[in-house]
């Protein structure tokens, strides 16, 4: 069975495989023991196909993981959305989840902002404010009111040391399409449009590009 792999993973898989081969050559049992890590590395960078559910007003999860408690929070100030709090949905990805990130809605990436920071455990609330992050402001298709803009934020975690975002300002995006990933273990925040209706429960397990988090109002 072929396992689809994200392009970011091939250098790491090559390193793990080479080290594994060396250990097998030096000492069989060391190679056998390290084989678990090589398999995990391959699994970490897996990139399965996903099919978004029908319905243009649905907001899908940008990440595989567990939905943390929903709170009201101010979006990242670097995106220029002002001080008004919005409902924030946060998805925590552990090291066993698929880490390829996907677009929650179709529209236009009207602003991107990277901010360096710390590396607290991504399950902590303070990670959204203090950790390294990459924020994207998206204007959904058919909307012109900034109140209907959506924000998705990639946040580095305790052991994550690289955020990959393939977007640039002005790019057209499609709901469920790949746009980046984070290595290794991390979190994504979604700041909802003011009028959006949440349809998922806290603690739910989400699947990137498929799980419906909320619905835009027509």
Catalytic residues: 186
DSSP for residue 137: E
Closest by CA position to 135, among listed 191, 198, 67, 212 = 191
Count other Cβ atoms within 10 Å, centred on residue 116: 8
- Please name every residue paired with 187 in a beta bridge, in sequence order, or none if there are none: 92, 155
Q: For residues 102 and 213, is the Cβ–Cβ distance under 8 A? A: no
CA distance 176 to 211: 10
Which residues fall within 8 angstroms of residue 15, CB to CB, at 6 or more apart? Answer: none
Tokens of 12: 């790491």
Rg of the chain over CA atoms, in angstroms?
A: 18
Angle at 44 between CA 11 and CA 42, to 5 degrees: 55
CA distance 150 to 181: 19
Q: Is the peptide bond before 5 cis (omega within 30 degrees of 0)?
A: no
Q: For residues 70 and 198, is the Cβ–Cβ distance under 8 A? A: yes
């Amino acid at each position: 069975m072929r396992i689809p792999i994200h392009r970011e993973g091939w250098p790491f898989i090559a390193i793990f495989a080479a080290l594994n081969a060396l250990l097998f050559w030096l000492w069989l049992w060391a190679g056998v023991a390290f084989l678990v890590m090589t398999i995990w590395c391959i699994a970490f960078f897996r990139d399965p196909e996903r099919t978004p559910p029908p319905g243009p007003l649905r907001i899908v999860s940008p990440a595989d993981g567990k939905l943390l408690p929903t709170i009201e929070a101010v979006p990242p100030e670097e995106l220029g959305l002002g001080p008004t709090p919005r409902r924030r949905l946060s998805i925590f990805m552990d090291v066993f989840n698929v880490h390829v990130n996907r677009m929650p809605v179709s529209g236009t990436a009207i602003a991107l902002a990277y901010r360096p920071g710390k590396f607290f455990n991504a399950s902590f609330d303070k990670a959204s404010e203090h950790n390294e992050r990459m924020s994207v402001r998206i204007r959904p298709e058919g909307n012109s009111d900034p109140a209907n803009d959506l924000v998705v934020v990639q946040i580095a975690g305790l052991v994550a040391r690289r955020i990959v975002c393939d977007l640039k300002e002005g790019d057209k995006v499609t709901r469920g399409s790949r746009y980046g990933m984070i290595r290794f273990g991390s979190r994504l925040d979604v700041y909802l449009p003011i009028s959006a209706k949440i349809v998922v429960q806290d603690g739910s397990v989400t699947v990137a590009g498929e799980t419906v988090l909320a619905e835009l109002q027509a």
